[in-house]
Amino acid sequence: MINTKFYDQFHADTNPQSFIINKRNYTYNIILKVLDEYIKENSKILDIGCGAGTLSLYLAKNANHQVLGLDISQKAIEACKESAKRLDLHNVSFKQIDFLRYVPKRRFDIVLCLEVIEHLKEDKHAVAKIFKLLKPDGLVILSTPSKNAPLYRIGYSKGFDKRVGHLRRYDKTALISIFKKEGFNVLAIKETEGLLRNFLFLNPYAGKLIRFIRFPISIAINYIDNLLLTLFGESDIFIISQKP
């Protein structure tokens, strides 16, 4: 069972949102590019571990998707529901539940599982459950911290992983193996986030600067980060897989 108290404490400062992010948002610009590449309009989407609901709200607002966000934290879900109300969005809903025990009344075109699987003891069972939640030809887009991350290899991210509840990390070979064993066709693996970007998210002091990174500055940061990604390897991995 997932420790719901831990994640309610994690979301203690999560508040309702009064605006929708855009594609220039530094925190989400990588994932938004992936979502825009693979998600067709008018999709039925399940967002597992939706947290504050930022991506669920973005998808509901910008492409007329029907979105359901799930999270184990009641505090997070309360904030999500209030955000949808403030933003007057009626094609998104939120539910507090452990998705491994979620019994859906419908199947989905897209399942998002972003920075979640590393928190779950039953990771293979989670992938099997996602398979069942999808329609035929449905897609899962999953991201997770990489075992090859430069800061992880030198031990820098150990404290962060423990603090946020990470149980393990993956490399692309392990991810591909898990998804293929559950019957998925793997469409793409994307190795993202270089050393600089990863440092900004891991370091609590540097992390405070992220909210001030605006589009002109982000171009320069992304350029440097992509060079570091090429030189030292990825800090995060996306896998996009399809149910036959």
pLDDT digits (tens, 9 = 90+) for 213-222: 777 788 888 9
Tell me how far apart the alpha carbons of residues 70 and 50 are, in angstroms, rounded to a whole number. Answer: 6
Residues 131, 183 contacting (CB under 8 angstroms): yes
How many domains are there within the chain?
Answer: 1
pLDDT in tens, 118-151: 999 999 999 999 999 999 999 999 999 999 999 9
Confidence (pLDDT) at 122: 94
Nearest to 184 by CA among 238, 146, 240: 240
Residue 210: which pLDDT band, with cuts at 50, 70 and 90?
confident
Range of the domain at 72: 4-242
Q: Which residue has the higher pLDDT, 11 or 161?
A: 161
Tell me how far apart the alpha carbons of residues 77 and 92 are, in angstroms, rounded to a whole number. Answer: 12
pTM of the model: 0.94
Average pLDDT on 34-59 reads 95
CA distances from 205 to 196, 198, 220, 233 (A): 14, 13, 20, 24
> How much of the chain is in helix, strand and coil states, percent to nearest 5?
45, 20, 35
> What is the CATH number for 232?
3.40.50.150
